[in-house]
Amino acid sequence: MTQVQVILDKALDGRRITPEEGLQLLTEADLLALGQVAQALRFRKHPEPVVTFVIDANPNYTNVCVTDCLFCAFYRKPGVPDAYTLSVEEVLQKIEWAVARGATTVLLQGGHNPDLPLDYYLTLIQETRRRFPHVTPHFFTASEVRFMAEVSGLSVREVLERLKEAGQTTLPGGGAEILSDRVRRRISPKKGPAADWLEVHRTAHELGMRSTATMMYGHVEAPEDIMAHLEAIRSLQDETGGFTAFVPWSFKPDHTYLRKWVPHRSPPQQYLRIIALSRIYLDNFDHIQASWFSEGKKVGQVALHFGADDFGGVLLEEHVHEATGHVNRSSVEEVVDLIREAGFIPAQRTTLYEIIRLMEGHHGGGA
């Protein structure tokens, strides 16, 4: 028996694999063998052939940013002609637009804009809660929270306490990129070390908030960096249990500075490998999210057979990927059809992965 097979058998036995074993799977395992084990573990955790999705929108409140990440095509430096910052009322209009189309989650994020006071963010949460009580304000990534702390002079914990008081209960996982300082120094030197991202999520979990963990791969990282990332979030999950899901996606080079060194997108087979490995490695995560949006609809469907149990959001509005020329649109009907076509029963969920409605049958929304 090969060493890789021994590791896969160990995972199938329900035993936790080590970072070294994970590295071996990432670099040496046969993709289909990896996928089969991942799918077996997925069905052990979620025995029903149900795939969840959320109706959401990802508006942005500002594209002004002073952090200059090399992989980012979205931000503008302060004062340039196409820099923008929306008023609270303008953001609420966007949320109203999404709510009218069925959104239950709004993932709001923006650049690091030094002109915005903490009150701006707090008012956004309070007003969203007041005007749209059925929407979960899934607002502000870890790096935005850190930036709020910097601008306001408060600690990360104090900022999170204020956000929570204002009505925020969950945090999106963006800004993690790769949780390896070697990589972060190259692609986002002003964003701080991996420990900063982890500290925001640890503190949020300690305050009773939930969050997702993300990973953007396919640029300057080595396989060891991916394993460092998976190990960091698995350890934090052991500590707090606060992560709802893991959401990986690939770097999109167009219109970014990093394109000079990384001109091509990571191929679909690497995405499937990462989805499968994450299902195997992250044994303490309930949900692994496949993204029709980031990797394409067909690859998203295939990922549902490689360990993923969630199909992400419908994304009624999105601009961060759009800035790289990556435009992918869908609708609730299409997402439902894609899940069915892949062989699963679609189910609309909340931000916290609770099922709102199961869509059995073949036409239209079910009970």
Q: How many CB atoms lie within 10 A of CB 166?
A: 20
Please state, in angstroms and rounded to a whole number, the distance separating the CA atoms of residues 271 and 275: 6
| Residue 239: both structure tokens together | 């500590």
The pairing of strands 210-217 and 170-171 is parallel
Per-residue binding letters, 142-171, with ligand SF4 (x by CB under 6 A):
-x----------------------------
What are the φ and ψ backbone dihedral angles of 176, each rounded to 5 degrees? -75, -35
Which residue among 75, 139, 249, 344 contacts ligand SF4 (CB under 6 A)? 75
Beta bridge partners of 246: 213, 288
Q: Is 61 in the site for ligand SF4 (CB under 6 A)?
A: no
Interface pick for ligand SF4 out of 55, 72, 204, 216 (rule CB under 6 A): 72
Q: Are 289 and 262 in contact (CB under 8 A)?
A: no
Total site size for ligand SF4, rule CB under 6 A: 11
**Applying CB under 6 A, does 258 fall inside the site for ligand SF4?**
no
**Does 67 engage in binding with ligand SF4 (CB under 6 A)?**
yes
Specify the residue, 72 or 103, whose C-beta has the smaller distance to ligand SF4: 72
Site string for ligand SF4, 81-120 (x = CB under 6 A): ------------------------------xx--------
Q: Which of 280, 276, 186, 176 is nearest to 233 (CA)?
A: 176
For the CB of residue 294, give the shortest distance to ligand SF4 in the complex, in Å: 15
Q: Supply the Cα-derived Rg of the chain in whole angstroms.
A: 20
Counting contacts by CB under 6 A, is residue 271 touching ligand SF4? Answer: no
Choice between 32 and 195, CB closer to ligand SF4: 195
Closest-CA residue to 178 (of 234, 222, 242, 243): 222
Find the shortest distance in angstroms from Cβ 143 to ligand SF4: 6
Stretch that binds ligand SF4, among 63-71, 88-96, 221-229, 326-334 (CB under 6 A): 63-71
Could you give the string, one character per residue 166-195, with x where binding to ligand SF4 holds by CB under 6 A and - elsewhere?
A: ----------------------x-------
Q: In what order do the strands lie in the sheet with 287-288?
A: 56-57, 105-108, 136-139, 170-171, 210-217, 243-250, 287-288
Instruction: Decide whether 75 or 353 has the Cβ nearer to ligand SF4.
Output: 75
| Cβ closest to ligand SF4, residue 65 vs residue 116 | 65
Q: Per CB under 6 A, does 69 bind ligand SF4? A: yes
User: What are the Cα distances from residue 98, in Å, to 93, 125, 317?
Assistant: 9, 16, 8
- Cβ atoms of 176 and 213 within 8 Å: the answer is yes
Which residues contact ligand SF4 (rule: CB under 6 A)? 65, 67-69, 72, 74-75, 111-112, 143, 188
